[in-house]
Structure 1
Amino acid sequence: MKYYLKSIILLILIICISYNKAFCFTKIAIINLAKIFQIIPQKEKIFQELKKENNQEIRKIQKMKISLKNKIKKLKNKNLSKQVKQKIQKEITYQKNLLFKKIINFKINNNKREKKARNKILFFINKLINIVAEKGHYNIIIDISFISYAKNVKDITNDVIELANTQANILFTI
Structure 2
Amino acid sequence: MLKQIQNCSAVVSRTIAEKLSDPGSFTIPCTIGSYAFANALCDLGASINLMPLSIYKKLCIRKARPTSMLLQLADRTVKRPSGILDDVLVQVGKFVFPVDFVILDCKVDEEIPIILGRPFLATGRALIDCETGELKMRLNNEEITLNVQKSMRRPSEFANCSLLDTVDVIMEEDDEALMQKTL
Same fold per superposition (TM over 0.5): no
Larger-Rg structure? 1
Q: Which has the higher strand share?
A: 2
More relative contact order, 1 or 2 (CA 8 Å, 6+ apart)? 1
TM-score range, shorter chain: under 0.3
TM-score, normalization: structure 2?
Answer: 0.22
Q: TM-score, normalised by structure 1?
A: 0.22
Going by fraction, where is helix more abundant, 1 or 2? 1
